[in-house]
Amino acid sequence: MIEHGTPRLGVIDLRDIGFRYDEHEVLRHVDLTLEEGELVLVSGRTGVGKSTLLGVVTGLVPRFTGGVLSGDVLLDGASIVDQPPRERAHLVGYVGQDPLAGFVADTVEEELAYGMEQVGIAPETMRRRVEETLDLLGIADLRSRDLRTLSGGQQQRVAIGSVLTMHPRVLVLDEPTSALDPTAAEDVLATLTRLVHDLGLTVLLAEHRLERVLPFADRICLVTGDGSIRVDTPHRILTDSPIAPPLVELGRLAGWDPLPLTVRDARRQARSLPALAAPSPKRLPAADPLVLARGVSVVHGHHVAVREVDLTLSAGRVTTLMGRNGSGKSSLIWALQGTGRRRSGTVDVAGDDPADLAPAERRTHVGLVPQTAADLLYLETVAEECAAADAGAEAASGTCRGLLDRLAPGIDEASHPRDLSEGQRLALALSIVLSARPPVVLLDEPTRGLDYAGKGELARIVADLAAEGRAIMLATHDVEFAAHVADEVVVMADGEVVSSGPPRRVLAESPSFAPQVTKVLGAPWLVVEEVAAALGEARA
Amino acid sequence: MTGPALTSGALPRDLHPIAWWTWAIGLATAASLTTNPLLLLLLMGSATVVVMARRSGHPFGRSFRLYALLAAVTVVVRVGFRIVFGGQEIGRVLLDLPEIPLPDWAAGVRLLGPVTSEALLAGLYDGLRLAAVILCVGAANSLANPKRLLASVPPALYEIGTALVVAVTIFPQLADSARRVRAAQALRGGTTTGVGRLRRFLVPVLEDALERSLSLAAGMDTRGYGRSGGATTRERRLTGSLLLLALTGICVGTYAWLDPTAPRVLALPMLGAGGVVAVVGLVSAGRRVQRTRYRPDPWRAGEVVAVVTGLAVAALGWYVAHTQVVVAYPGVDVAPYLSPLALVVGILGTVPAVATPVPASAVVRREVAA
């Protein structure tokens, strides 16, 4: 084992770190010490420099990003700031957002061994460590599987395992659960906690879905956006942090001290709440069905992706489509749009079957924003994109720009689409799709990569579109977001619809899809806003 | 489990990829040295038998069908060419097609015209020979994971090997991303012709590819790919100059060997010297590499059997081609026949189907299927 430094030193010490691109200063005079065996959560709004801070520790910043780095990074008291990532590989392990993009080998076992081969560990040791790691992460039965056939959660665990085999001192993870469904995310986080507790591993983790990670974090490092950071216990940071999970918002609202970090804490404290009048279920007026899908099946090769699904989307309603990764959500969305080939069943959109229409006609019936919104964009500026969208949809010039200004005001028209934030890029793609004035809008995983503020914006946009009489359906893993926007929730598993209905029934019924407020207060409650309203009434 | 119980013989394991490739190249060599359709069919049959018995459970194991298809297409195209472009004037006419007159500048090319059985047979034999070679390569591909072959290069060439492995991996991803972008671009209106369309398609695909490559590079770098190890500057220079010297030697040697007017001392001796220096350079480069290999494929009796079989088939094929010309290159006007030795060449290739261990991955596959 590596010799420990003097007790005052942490495993990792960032000393007076500064980082800038040209004029833009990302980090200024940042000091951070990571103790052995603690899990530090890096949080902050999108684009404030969370990934930069992680990159400084791994060495990827500035080598893979450009920019100027100043200050010093110490590992066990020795400076490693001049070492490239490959020379730190046995000390600092890094797991990125998309595990598949970082895989080098074919099978689980070879992937676990890859790092050790590079470092030059003796074959017998390698063999032993691979076996230990397979057991530690509970993936022993996957050992000879092809990495591409694994589920998202399994891939992420293999990615973590593949750096663990080198026995690093520090594990750095950049949004490890952002692409995962709630259950898979819980699996990965539970694994991480076990590593911290059992092996004394130090973990530095960035994540914007705080509600998932908070129960496991020892400290939070809040990147404020003006170049500095605040590091403290979760309780203290969360009292005034601009981003907070619903649980904390509930605690702030009810004036609980200390703030609850786990559902268990919150439940205990919720006993002190006055009796609240249960929220009355939203009465939804009967609406015209815009999309009628009956018995839709989609088959990829031998795999039945969607099996005989019936679905109705009505004007002015927002439907959220949920389910684990690979449950057939995307296949269903593409089949409804008409591009995805149906094996059987009928789809009726305003009297037409979109599958029989030409692409141009299809666009005026159903608008779809794909999972990677960037696939839609290909021009150099926002203005060009908007002009091309107007021309393509034969809409009056300025239509798309007008839509964009409504969805996400204040985007500079000379900026490159790739420089936009995740949320702005989504708004641009959505505006382009809306230029063709489709009455039905389908969104595939729009919340991916959005922070709380971005999701708030998206929720407002979706509500606006529905208010105009459009039928909206969006696929998402984000229960809290679904609880906010949905008029109806459809849960899919293995290609079939397992439950559908109003969120108050569907979300509250399922333990893995229940939002935090439901977990604390029980069935009829869904979101903090309802509790706030009821509390206001009770106190008045 | 549906296969035979593993009560006797070697334990299941994957054979060393180099052994399979040597065996396959041996068969391909024998195939390229004959046009006897019986012998070619026998060779193709042996390759198929071995693939059926010993292919791995990896995705590559399923690629054999593709190669078989490609081989069949080759034969058809070859025969089709003989019909379209005509062939010999003489021989038994099977089908008297009218000849299409061509302008003067295309003199020497004939379109259609009478089809003779001789021309068809010549096309068939020729096509079969190509098909046999293709099938042998396909057999090697489905028996041994090509990535493991690349990974078993000497340590000094490890970096190049990894680059190749990554390139092989990137291709399916590129196809995937192309499909995604094509579907996404159909969701918006606009130019669908000419350069505009190409741009709409290429820009997102290339951006995606670039992003993927960068994140793969970052991932590999953080996992220690390309660590410099403990080599001193002097060692590195020595290795570098040795390899440069070797390259020069091999270049000059090859040139002199191919050019009969060059002095003979520059030919084979130079080539040999270049080769020796290259080996020394690679050994020197390999010595400073501190990388290790996880579960390297061992080299045991099974591998020796495969290699010896391949070499024997090639050597015997060569012997037949040089001593029994009538058997190896039968005329198109008489029925081809096989000599006992040619028969041996055709059948010997099947030995690895029984004399090598069952691949471990195939056992897993059967258990899953059961």
Summarised one tens digit per residue, pLDDT across range A505-528 is: 898 878 878 899 999 988 788 899
Q: Of B241, B259, B287, at which residue does a domain stop?
A: B287
Q: What's the pTM value of the predicted model, to 2 decimals?
A: 0.80
Q: pLDDT by residue (tens digit) across A115-149?
A: 998 888 999 999 999 999 998 888 899 988 888 88
Confidence at B256, pLDDT banded by 50, 70, 90? confident
Flag whether B293 is in a domain.
no
For residue B114, what are the β-bridge partners?
B96
Q: Does B209 touch chain A (CB under 8 A)?
A: no
Domain count, chain B: 3
Q: Indicate whether B369 pLDDT > 60.
A: no
Query: Inter-chain contact A391–B199, Cβ cutoff 8 Å?
Result: no
Place B2 in a pLDDT band, splitting at 50, 70 and 90. Answer: very low
Cβ contacts (< 8 Å) between B204 and chain A: which residues? 374-378
For residue B221, list chain A residues with Cβ-Cβ distance below 8 A.
60, 63-64, 84-86
Q: Identify the residue with better confidence: B358 or B364.
A: B358
pLDDT digits (tens, 9 = 90+) for A264-316: 989 999 888 888 888 877 777 778 899 999 999 999 888 899 999 999 999 99
CB contact B180 to A (< 8 Å): yes
Of A122, A126, A376, the CB nearest to B187: A376
CA distance B76 to A180: 50
Residue B227: inside a domain = no
Reference A417, options A369, A375, A450, A368; nearest CA is A375
Count of alpha carbons within 13 Å of B180, Cβ hemisphere only? 22
Taking CB atoms and an 8 Å cutoff, what residues of chain A touch B165?
A: 104
Query: Are the beta carbons of A159 and A102 closer than 8 angstroms?
Result: yes
* Residue A34 pLDDT: 93
Read off the pLDDT of residues B50-106 as tens digits, 9 standing for 90 and up.
Answer: 999 988 777 677 788 889 999 999 999 988 888 887 656 667 777 777 777 777 776
Do B347 and B331 belong to one domain?
yes
Give the alpha-carbon dihedral of B283, B287, B289, B294, to 10 degrees: 80
Q: Given the structure tokens 């922070």, which residue do they identify?
A: A451
Reported as a pLDDT band with limits 50, 70 and 90, residue A210 is confident
Contact A178, A449 (CB under 8 A): yes
Provide the Cα torsion B166, B198, A435, A47; round to 10°: 30
Interface touch A58/B214, C-beta < 8 Å:
no
Residue B261 domain boundaries? 233-287
Quick check: A491 pLDDT over 80?
Answer: yes
Q: Please compute the mean of the pLDDT values over residues B165-188 and round it to a whole number.
A: 81
> Which class is A289-501 in CATH?
alpha beta
Instruction: List the structure tokens of A97.
Output: 């957002």
Question: Do B126 and B155 belong to one domain?
Answer: no
Give the mean model confidence (pLDDT) for residues A162-178: 90
Are A118 and B203 a contacting pair at CB < 8 A? no
Give yes or no: residues B86 and B204 share one domain: no
Chain B residues within 8 A of A119 when measuring between CB atoms? 224, 227
pLDDT > 50? residue A6: no
Burial B185-210 (b: 16+ CB within 10 A, else e): bbbbbbeeeeeeeeebbebbbebbee
pLDDT at A15: 92
The pLDDT value given to residue A279: 81
pLDDT tens digits for range A390-444? 988 888 888 899 888 888 888 888 989 888 888 888 889 999 999 988 999 999 9
**Closest chain A residue to B163, measured at CA:** A104
Q: How confident is the model at residue A243 (pLDDT cuts 50, 70, 90)?
A: confident
Superfamily, domain A12-243: P-loop containing nucleotide triphosphate hydrolases (3.40.50.300)
| Average confidence score pLDDT of chain A | 88
Residue A225's pLDDT is: 83
Give the tens place of pLDDT for each residue, B260-302: 787 777 777 888 888 888 888 877 777 766 778 888 878 888 8
Q: Provide the pLDDT confidence category of residue A470 given band limits of 50, 70 and 90.
A: very high
Phi, psi of B227 (to 5 degrees): -60, 140
CA A340 → CA A112, A359, A439, B174, distances in Å? 36, 12, 19, 20
- The residue type found at B118 is E
Residue A39: what residue type?
L
ipTM: 0.85
Using a CB-CB distance cutoff of 8 angstroms, which residues of chain B are in contact with residue A101?
A: 212, 215-216, 219
User: Residues B52, B99: one domain?
Assistant: yes
Distance of residue A223 Cα from the nearest chain B Cα, in angstroms: 23
Chain B partners within 8 Å of A298 (Cβ): none
- B184 and B122, same domain (yes or no): no
Burial class (CB in 10 A: 0-12, 13-18, 19+), A155: buried
| pLDDT-above-70 percentage for chain B | 88
B220: which chain A residues are within 8 Å (Cβ-Cβ)?
102, 104
What are the DSSP calls for A234-297, one per residue? HHHHHHH-S---HHHHHHHHHT-SSPP-SHHHHHHHHTTSPP-PPPPPPPPPP--EEEEEEEEE
pLDDT at A182: 82
Contact between chains at B218 and A64 (C-beta distance less than 8 A): yes
Domain membership flag for residue B112: yes
Q: Does B329 touch chain A (CB under 8 A)?
A: no
pLDDT at A17 over 80: yes
| Cross-chain CB nearest to B292 (options A120, A339, A376) | A120
pLDDT reported for residue A215: 86
Q: How far apart are CA B119 and CA B85, in angstroms?
A: 10
The minimal CB distance from A392 to the residues B145, B190, B223 is found for B190
Q: What is the pLDDT of residue B368?
A: 46
- For residue range A314-371, what is the model confidence (pLDDT) as tens digits? 999 999 999 888 889 999 999 999 988 899 999 999 889 999 988 888 999 999 999 8
Q: How far is B26 from chain A (nearest CA, A)?
A: 28
Residues B131 and B39 in one domain: yes
Q: Which of A121, A163, A432 is the closest to B223 by Cβ?
A: A163
pLDDT value for A351: 87
**CA-to-CA distance for A1 and A43, rounded, in angstroms?**
31
Asked whether residue B3 carries a pLDDT value surpassing 50, the answer given is: no
Residues A148, A152, A154, A155, Cα dihedral to 10°: 50
Q: Are residues B262 and B312 in the same domain?
A: no
Report the pLDDT value the prediction gives residue A1, as an integer from 0 to 100: 41
The residue count of chain B comes to 370
Measure CB to CB from residue B220 to each of A58, A104, A339 and give the nearest one.
A104
Of A59, A367, A370, the CB nearest to B184: A370
CA distance B274 to B304: 29
Are B75 and B186 in the same domain? no
- What residues contact A456, with CB distance under 8 A and at least 6 apart? none
What are the residue ranges of CATH 3.40.50.300 in chain A? 12-243, 289-501
Q: For residue B362, what pLDDT band results from cuts at 50, 70 and 90? A: low
Burial A454-468 (b: 16+ CB within 10 A, else e): bbebbeebbeebbee
Indicate the pLDDT class of residue A372, thresholds 50, 70 and 90: confident
- Please tell me the distance from the alpha carbon of residue A111 to that of residue A146, in angstroms, as a whole number: 10
Residues of A in Cβ contact (< 8 Å) with B226: 86
Give me the pLDDT at residue A454, please: 84
More reliable by pLDDT, A456 or B106: A456
Q: Which of A499, A425, A146 is nearest to B57 (CA)?
A: A146
What confidence category does residue B8 fall into, taking pLDDT thresholds of 50, 70 and 90? low
Residue B193 included in any domain: yes
CA pair distance B211, A354, nearest whole angstrom: 33
Residue B195, domain member (yes or no): yes
